[in-house]
Structure 1
């Protein structure tokens, strides 16, 4: 079927056939997780008694917006949280994380990064290495930063976390890998970090950057010791339908503090019009378990295919998956660029474009990105990127449906490793 629509070489189609055979049991496991999460989602919608009028949206102040309130109630139930803040006013995952951190931390407080240096775009939010100095970073406002680097094997240093936690207000855990070649942290690891930090400091706030991790398992970080979780709606929980936005979920008192930061002290969650977004946000969240399953099936297939061509993807196709991201060393700049161009060529939007490396705000090196997505910057849709620095690591994520994403990955592999 693939060769009916795209020009694949016979040796590439043979690899596809082998990969599909090897992946079947792991696809089945992800489908079981999908079904559990979809039923959990259905139950939350029913419990909230969401109605068609809740999708109409509001203007102006957005006072008495029952649709917004019910959506946040559904999020809270699904995430295992007391409360949630789900808003289209969040512009990105980084913006949502920044609102949460500024909501929790005050001058003199310490932010402890328990899983090493955070993702590149947070460096400017925190003010690390002088980035963003004078623009209103956490450090500009007197917040201190401490770090427990990961060990050489990319596991948390629990002894160091226990040593540093007593002086910290917030313990930051980044579930996904950022630009590191490590597996995403599973919920057992998140729980162990939380338990370690709390044993040393019972008042510490356990804060989890949950980007890329939602619905990859049957539980979420709030059910594994987190006080607050943060994510983006143009990643997993938006289901490829939400056009923008982010969420913060967890303890009610902490969510309220974040709402004061987003809006204004004294206003909190009471304000925030929804305009025309409620239907897309409801529908995207409802479909998210199924879409995440398709994205992880895409990841499993890509990992298997890459192993068959001699690469060493992280994670392996036969391992547990705790986010939707696959990383691997492309080996050369040409292979990285070729892989990204292959993904772009099999995208539904802008398939004619040829990605080029370029500077990106918040990143140290030039980055090449492929994303033929319906929503700009969406990473639940099939996309890949990587910094132009050795060993030319590529980060592949997303896939709204496996049939199309399979073609995209196969074309990317052919473009990178089977050139004439």
Structure 2
């Protein structure tokens, strides 16, 4: 046990000090590059650019200009005083819903699109679940004059129709995927197939902190702007939080928010996964809480699969959390005990969304509502605590889903 504790502390320090992933793309036992040989030249070229182009002064200056003048950074830190009164807590919201296109996804999309342009890519392919990454990729490609193809599961095309229309308006070609589970996993499968067909001319603009190395590193670096801003903002306003909450599907907004807080050992970090409608495989998307290690979409991480090794279909009321894997850095942070991972059910997320609307006049994305639900539960057990919540996106895109569910107050009135 003592040796395990020492090993875990060393692994955590490697993350805090920027030495993880290692040269093999490993976050401890997780990560790596599990891709066809035909993609290795493209992957190696991208890896070199992440280490050389991404940190360069010229690239960072161009990225900063786009983030401030086009994305709208820094995003606000909002004191949610009425939620705080209800929860008996001091509640703060990091407002990625106020970023251009309505979610954190734009930070990563514009950064990768600039990198693709530097690499001489002729076209961009992307995948999307909730549609926010697809919209962000379409917007970034329009900004830079790059053709964009977005793969989206047929199920998600139906339940996120407003975002499909937005992608098309922004000039992207949206391809509905009818194979597999017809959600995010199937969309990623098809995007990778497209990439394999033309690895030299195509850049795969992945939307979350998943995929083969260097994507988990790249996405983390581009999304860490969330945590850097939030930490500085809350320090200036009131001091470090007691706890930080973010929803976790693939995990890009969460890793971006958590990373700058990892060295603050007194700050509890909590990722909230989709508990769905039950505990059986296929009823949730709680990959870390209920999964096992395995390989999917180019990396070794926690996955949801059955005893025969078959990846399972997942469920969540939120399309963006409906994925059977998670970024490898999250798997490491769970292993070493630095981040707690919990679940929130569909019903809890819907209640939290309605409460946020009523108390703060903010309609959060269903993904973000899971973080709100987890934070509310923590507040009940830790009265008086200071809580920072990642508001990863806005809920306009979810109106077709929300229209099927009565408001919490209406459900209570009907029951009475």
Please give the TM-score of this superposition, normalised by the length of structure 1.
0.36
Please give the TM-score of this superposition, normalised by the length of structure 2.
0.36
Task: Find the structure with the greater CA-based Rg.
Answer: 1
